[in-house]
Chains A and B, each alone.
Chain A
Amino acid sequence: MAPPPLTPYTFIQCPCSDSSPAGPAPASPSGLGSDAEDDDRTFDPRAPRSNYSLHPLEYLMYCEDCHQIRCPRCVAEEIVTYYCPSCLFEIPSSNLKSEGNRCTRSCFQCPICIGPLAVTSLEAPPDPNLLAADNASAPSGPYILACSYCHWSSTEIGIKFDKPNGIYSQLQKVHNGGHPRVTAKDRKDRRKDTISETTVSSEPSSTPATSGPLDTETHFDNLRSFYTHQISDSVSSGPGLSLTDMGVSSPSSLTRLMNLYTVNSLDPSKKPTAASARRSKPTFREAADAEEGLQPADLDESSAIQALRVASWPGTATAEQRGTQEAVRLSNLAEPPLHGRSRLVSELRPIPVLLRTKRSKRCPVCRHIISKPEPKVASTRFRIRLVAGSYIPAIAIRPLNLSSPSLSSPTAAAANGLLQPLKPVQYLLTFTNPIFDPVKVTLATPATVPGRFASKVTVLCPQFDIDANTDVWDEALRAGEAKKRADERLEGLKEDEDVLEIPMFVRVEWEVEAAAEVGTAIGGKETRERRELAYWCVLGVGRISQD
């Protein structure tokens, strides 16, 4: 039951999680005191908060203007493009507001297994030549959506399409089973018709209430139109108080409320106003029928229970399937009305594919762009990408076990991948300099690892220089030349928490030409500027044997 061996790792702590962040809004009341404490504080990799601030080097970005590490938690993101991951079609953000965050072309996911659905032609009689590619002339409708993974197809919910494209809009127009569905546009047209009808023939009963329950959109639209009418009607009829602005935030309704609660009770002379308000009330009535948006709850669930009984277990949708249907309901494809959640597999609807985004990242402090992808959907390139790996040295840690044959313990420790308690183990830290200037590195670790069972840590060479990175091609050819070594000996005491993680403070110093800043460099004089970067990192060394 030995735990899996642990490959050594290094995580870097992003300074954004410090109590004195570079962010614009720190300003804690005890700021000064905590800052003073900070200098002495040792970073504890076991602290519960540390989990959120440690990142592998590859996840980190670097702001060139603030000269600071930026982690995924401390960058501001901006959306560059919205696109459909299935058809790679770019969606303008204006469409997004009107049509939602789903692909509105023909990209759908299977409601059963969320696999991608393909539009397939279905020839009405099962033509024996269907699969022969050569004599299959241009496929003609009807078309279906078919999942090639679980073999679900839209025929199972009784839906076929006339055209192979624009499935989304076609799907909006049909219920499961193929009954036509009233879309928003149809509703608008119909309402226009009924209004003209009632005005011409003044026969209100000519519009039969929509058979069956209303769907969510119709329900909302009816309610809204009814209440807007109510408001405008009461305005025209109500003489005393203006009801134009029913919103609570509008000043007139506020004064009205204040009058109701304060003035009336204190000042009897204001009574008539209250009376007039009461008089105008009856004109403002609630919705009374389906045309006005009243939807009585169907509390009789016996038909639903009966349907479940008939469909039995295989015909019942799973919780996951119903969960994905919620997404469908948010887009305009919602199938059942308010009270009938899709409980059966036959009530499920294909799920339109969720859109994705390409995002650029900005430094939260100086607002400079740290990462910016190409806006074109198909391109994977970046215009700007300041990754930390090209600014701060990469740290690799591995056991140093062959150099000292006299010390038999390191090899023994490496044998099963576990560290033996009370036996010193040597590790080799390798720093790789990515920048083209020589770098001075200073390391510091606490003498003992924080935690219940402390391991002793000794850095044998706490200060050293790394040569500058040479040419790109040179680096590619002889990787690992510009490296310096720091030996670190650590001694395991009795440990209970089995992964040994050593916090290490890294301070990197280098000189750059300050000529880059425009305005400061006058006359082309070569000025050198010292840069320094200091951060905590955590070396995951290995598991400690518990025998």
Chain B
Amino acid sequence: MASAKPSASRHSILPPISQSGPKPPVTFSSSITISDGAVLTGTNPILISSESVIHPRARLDSMGGTISIGKRCIIHERTRIGDMGSEGRLSLQEGNKAVTLEDYVTVETAAVVEAGDTLLGEGTVVGVGSRIGRGAVVGKYCTITPQSEVPDEARIPDFTVVYGNGMRRQDKRGVSALMNKAQRQQIDVLRRLIPSKPEKFH
């Protein structure tokens, strides 16, 4: 039986991580946590600011332009940041910004943030399996609930909850300070759990 030998020899059922594609120029802060299972591809620079956490199998694609990730962001597994989207490749321009995440942004598992000058404001949470269309600008402390979609070029004001079938409402809890605090604490835990290997991407 498989239980005879413990986890050391256990094989993962997940497919191997493919590190194909060009290696992007990266600028990392010294305090970030990035798993060696993360996938960074593309030709444009990728910039990650201090104390952000990149989970394994997160995919950052800078083919469409620069990706910049602010302070204390958490990028979960199987996310695709800078995804080229379903409509094919964007025109590659110098100095083009693909995706900008401000501070305290969380992108949850399997969410997609498409490239094309997309902006996620401070403290925004992108729920599991959601999609942020290209060119969308999401304000501060927004919540994109799981499995929802923000259309291309959408403008979402601050403190908005996008829920259900594209419905929106204002978040009136006023707990942004608490959310930031929680984010800091979560990052403290994640740093102990995720072995960081930033040198792999240099």
A residues engaging B (CB < 8 A)?
112-113, 126, 128, 130-132, 149-153, 155-156, 314, 318, 345
A-B contact pairs, 26 of them (CB 8 A): A112-B163, A112-B169, A113-B163, A126-B177, A126-B178, A128-B181, A130-B178, A131-B178, A131-B181, A131-B182, A132-B185, A149-B145, A150-B145, A150-B163, A150-B169, A151-B171, A152-B169, A153-B173, A155-B172, A155-B173, A156-B172, A314-B168, A314-B169, A314-B170, A318-B167, A345-B169
Give Cα distance in the complex from A112 to B143, angstroms.
15
Query: What is the minimal beta-carbon distance from B192 to any residue of chain A, in angstroms?
Result: 16
Query: What is the minimal beta-carbon distance from B131 to any residue of chain A, in angstroms?
Result: 18
Contact A149 B163 (CB under 8 A): yes
Give Cα distance in the complex from A476 to B103, angstroms.
58
Give Cα distance in the complex from A130 to B180, angstroms.
13
Query: What is the minimal beta-carbon distance from B180 to any residue of chain A, in angstroms?
Result: 11
Interface residue range, chain B: 10 to 19
Give Cα distance in the complex from A189 to B66, angstroms.
71
Give Cα distance in the complex from A156 to B168, angstroms.
16
Give Cα distance in the complex from A128 to B168, angstroms.
29
Main secondary structure of the interface of A (DSSP, over half): loop
B166 within 8 A of partner (CB): no
Scan residues 127-176 of chain B and give those whose CB is less than 8 A from a CB of chain A: 143, 145, 161, 163-164, 167-173, 175
Query: What is the minimal beta-carbon distance from B125 to any residue of chain A, in angstroms?
Result: 10
Query: What is the minimal beta-carbon distance from A147 to any residue of chain B, in angstroms?
Result: 9
Give Cα distance in the complex from A132 to B161, angstroms.
25
Contacts of A314 in B (CB 8 A): 168-170
For B145, give the chain A residue with the smallest CB separation: A149
Contacts of A152 in B (CB 8 A): 169
Contact A151 B161 (CB under 8 A): yes
B residues engaging A (CB < 8 A)?
143, 145, 161, 163-164, 167-173, 175, 177-178, 181-182, 185
Query: What is the minimal beta-carbon distance from A178 to any residue of chain B, in angstroms?
Result: 16
Give Cα distance in the complex from A318 to B168, angstroms.
12
For B162, give the chain A residue with the smallest CB separation: A150
Main secondary structure of the interface of B (DSSP, over half): mixed
Query: What is the minimal beta-carbon distance from A238 to any residue of chain B, in angstroms?
Result: 60
Give Cα distance in the complex from A155 to B185, angstroms.
26
Query: What is the minimal beta-carbon distance from B187 to any residue of chain A, in angstroms?
Result: 13
Give Cα distance in the complex from A132 to B184, angstroms.
11
For B168, give the chain A residue with the smallest CB separation: A314
For A144, give the chain B residue with the smallest CB separation: B173
Contact A151 B173 (CB under 8 A): yes
Query: What is the minimal beta-carbon distance from A8 to any residue of chain B, in angstroms?
Result: 33
Contacts of A149 in B (CB 8 A): 145, 163
Query: What is the minimal beta-carbon distance from B169 to any residue of chain A, in angstroms?
Result: 6
Query: What is the minimal beta-carbon distance from B147 to any residue of chain A, in angstroms?
Result: 11
Give Cα distance in the complex from A345 to B168, angstroms.
13
Interface centre among A131, A132, A153, A155 (most CB of B within 10 A): A131
Contact A113 B164 (CB under 8 A): yes
A150 in complex: contacting residue of B161, B177, B181, CB < 8 Å: B161
Contacts of A318 in B (CB 8 A): 167
Give Cα distance in the complex from A132 to B189, angstroms.
13
Contact A151 B181 (CB under 8 A): no
Query: What is the minimal beta-carbon distance from A157 to any residue of chain B, in angstroms?
Result: 11
For A126, give the chain B residue with the smallest CB separation: B178
Interface centre among A128, A150, A156, A345 (most CB of B within 10 A): A150
Query: What is the minimal beta-carbon distance from B145 to any residue of chain A, in angstroms?
Result: 6
Give Cα distance in the complex from A130 to B161, angstroms.
23
Q: A149-B145, A151-B171, A156-B172 are in contact. Are A131 and B163 (CB under 8 A)?
A: no
15 further A-B contacts with Cβ under 8 Å, apart from A131-B185, A318-B167, are A112-B169, A113-B164, A128-B181, A131-B178, A149-B145, A149-B163, A150-B161, A151-B173, A152-B169, A153-B173, A155-B173, A314-B168, A314-B169, A314-B170, A345-B169
For B160, give the chain A residue with the smallest CB separation: A314
Query: What is the minimal beta-carbon distance from A335 to any residue of chain B, in angstroms?
Result: 19
Give Cα distance in the complex from A539 to B99, angstroms.
54
For B172, give the chain A residue with the smallest CB separation: A156
Which 10 residue pairs are nearest across A and B when measured between Cβ atoms? A150-B163, A151-B171, A131-B182, A150-B161, A151-B161, A156-B172, A113-B163, A149-B145, A113-B164, A151-B173
Query: What is the minimal beta-carbon distance from A274 to any residue of chain B, in angstroms?
Result: 65
Contacts of B173 in A (CB 8 A): 151, 153, 155
Contacts of A150 in B (CB 8 A): 145, 161, 163-164, 169
Contacts of A126 in B (CB 8 A): 175, 177-178
Give Cα distance in the complex from A113 to B181, angstroms.
27
Give Cα distance in the complex from A304 to B171, angstroms.
24
Query: What is the minimal beta-carbon distance from A546 to any residue of chain B, in angstroms?
Result: 30
Contacts of A156 in B (CB 8 A): 172
Give Cα distance in the complex from A113 to B143, angstroms.
14
Contacts of B171 in A (CB 8 A): 151
Contacts of B185 in A (CB 8 A): 131-132
Query: What is the minimal beta-carbon distance from A106 to any residue of chain B, in angstroms?
Result: 20
Give Cα distance in the complex from A150 to B127, angstroms.
11
Give Cα distance in the complex from A126 to B178, angstroms.
8
Query: What is the minimal beta-carbon distance from B183 to any residue of chain A, in angstroms?
Result: 10
Give Cα distance in the complex from A150 to B163, angstroms.
6
